[in-house]
Amino acid sequence: MEPYIILKRGKEESLKRFHPWIFSGAIAKTYGNPEEGDVVAVYTAEKEFVGRGHCQIGSITVRMLTFNDEKIDQKWWNNRLSAAYKMREMLGLTSDHSTTCYRLVHGEGDFLPGLVVDIYSKTAVIQCHSVGMFVSRKFIAEALKCIYGNALTAIYDKSSGTVPFKAGLNAEDGYLFGEEDGEPVRENGNLFAVNWIKGQKTGFFIDQRDNRELVKHYSRGRTVLNTFCYTGGFSVYALSGGALHVDSVDSSEQAVELAAENVKLNFGNDVPHNAIVRDAFEFLRDMHDRYDLIILDPPAFAKHHKALGNALQGYKRLNAMAIRQIRPRGILFTFSCSQAVSKEQFRTAVFSAAAITGRKVRILHQMTQPADHPINIYHPEGEYLKGLVLYVE
């Protein structure tokens, strides 16, 4: 008999609205001794079937996979991943020769809580954030092979840093299928070397694709500063948009090397670009009025709600430095990728920063994550990337 849980009375409300998480406090009783990562059936206090999900020890005890009475078998994985593929196909991403990297699975946004799959040309990189997804990775790899056929030559699992540490899974990163040395990918026609083995996250920040295009649009004739540059995504676009000069800053030596490598890959050696290893806060403090386009794309300052206050202070400080010193008629691209910081809170932090400087600031664009990072409307927590383009007079 499959393991199952019974909810406390009335605790099915949010599930009836398809919210995919069940918190530990909502559960009355568990039957059948499920192990972490097992699929459990979920019933209301009145014994009405709700759906099935992956169970895990922690405050989110069940991540829902389905609200139908269906088996979670290989066929199910094939169908669910194929639905994600069809959506990217509809977006034009699966056959676009100028963009060969995209996100195939964005967790709850693709009704697959705890799973991320990024495609880099012929390689899929899987990142599991839950025990359930980790123990299902063979099904996931099989489904990917089934969908892509020969178009996929390698599947790399990079979950060691993202699966819950406490579960004691001893996860090790490695190929589940094939092996690829990673030819550069294309994004809107620009080339990027992606190293999923050594790089951050799955190797590249695919989520800034649309926003990079906007940077390109505003770069002609401008002197550009790209802080927290990582692989130099924004720098490459700024140069292809005709920037006079671009400085890329990151505190990680490896990141700065990658940025320099990617600039070289696209434009060769003779290009107005400097890659600088430095703390961005320090760099911004001392930069004076050299730049008329600045990009601030820091890592998530708030990983949890407890860190919210400090995070907002951090955004305020960073933005105040940029707004104070940017040249007249300058353009500031400012982002937050902290899930715990709402759009409104981020905007308030940037507003406070502008107010300190006393400069005239207007919002030209409001940015978010691209369509291959969809937000499940029943799971608003999935909206994590927010950004503003400011015009500073």
Which residue numbers are catalytic? 337
Where b means 16+ CB within 10 Å and e means fewer, 59-78 reads: ebbbbbbbbeeeebeeebbb
Nearer to ligand SAH by Cβ, of 44 and 202: the residue is: 202
Query: Which residue in this structure is represented by tokens 């770069």?
Result: 219
Work out how close the CB of 281 gets to ligand SAH at its nearest, in angstroms, rounded to a whole number: 6
Work out how close the CB of 186 gets to ligand SAH at its nearest, in angstroms, rounded to a whole number: 15
> Is residue 370 at the binding interface for ligand SAH, with CB under 6 A as the rule?
no
Contact 329, 391 (CB under 8 A): yes
> Is residue 240 at the binding interface for ligand SAH, with CB under 6 A as the rule?
no
Binding mask 204-223 for ligand SAH (x = CB under 6 A): -x--x---------------
Nearer to ligand SAH by Cβ, of 254 and 342: the residue is: 254
Helix H or strand E encompassing 29: strand 27-31
Work out how close the CB of 108 gets to ligand SAH at its nearest, in angstroms, rounded to a whole number: 22
Nearer to ligand SAH by Cβ, of 66 and 200: the residue is: 200
Name residues whose C-beta falls within 8 Å of residue 166's C-beta, 6 or more positions apart in sequence. Answer: 57, 58
Interacting span for ligand SAH (CB under 6 A) from 16-24, 262-270, 294-302, 312-320: 294-302
Binding ligand SAH by CB under 6 A: which of 279, 309, 310, 380?
A: 279
Name residues whose C-beta falls within 8 Å of residue 201's C-beta, 6 or more positions apart in sequence. Answer: 127
| DSSP result, 84-147 | HHHHHHHTT-TT-TT--EEEEEEGGGGT-TTEEEEEETTEEEEEE-SHHHHHTHHHHHHHHHHH
Binding ligand SAH by CB under 6 A: which of 65, 297, 353, 374?
A: 297
- Bridge partners of 226, per DSSP, are 248, 295
Residue type, 217: H
Nearer to ligand SAH by Cβ, of 73 and 279: the residue is: 279
> Is residue 234 at the binding interface for ligand SAH, with CB under 6 A as the rule?
yes
Report the C-alpha gap between 36 and 39 in whole angstroms.
9
- Looking at residues 84 to 113 of the shown chain, list those that interact with ligand SAH (rule: CB under 6 A): none
> Is residue 13 at the binding interface for ligand SAH, with CB under 6 A as the rule?
no
In Å, what is the CA distance from 136 to each residue of 88, 128, 163, 179, 193? 22, 9, 13, 20, 29
Work out how close the CB of 251 gets to ligand SAH at its nearest, in angstroms, rounded to a whole number: 4
Interacting span for ligand SAH (CB under 6 A) from 217-225, 279-287, 340-348, 354-362: 279-287
Work out how close the CB of 228 gets to ligand SAH at its nearest, in angstroms, rounded to a whole number: 4
Report the C-alpha gap between 247 and 292 in whole angstroms.
12
Contact 184, 193 (CB under 8 A): yes
Binding mask 153-172 for ligand SAH (x = CB under 6 A): --------------------
> Is residue 43 at the binding interface for ligand SAH, with CB under 6 A as the rule?
no
> Is residue 280 at the binding interface for ligand SAH, with CB under 6 A as the rule?
yes
- Alpha helices (H) along the chain: 13-16, 74-90, 131-135, 137-148, 209-218, 233-240, 253-267, 280-285, 308-325, 343-357
- Looking at residues 249 to 278 of the shown chain, list those that interact with ligand SAH (rule: CB under 6 A): 250-252, 255
Running DSSP on this structure, what letter comes out for residue 8? P
Work out how close the CB of 259 gets to ligand SAH at its nearest, in angstroms, rounded to a whole number: 9
User: Which residues of the shown chain bind ligand SAH in the complex (CB under 6 A)?
Assistant: 205, 208, 228-231, 233-234, 250-252, 255, 279-281, 297-299
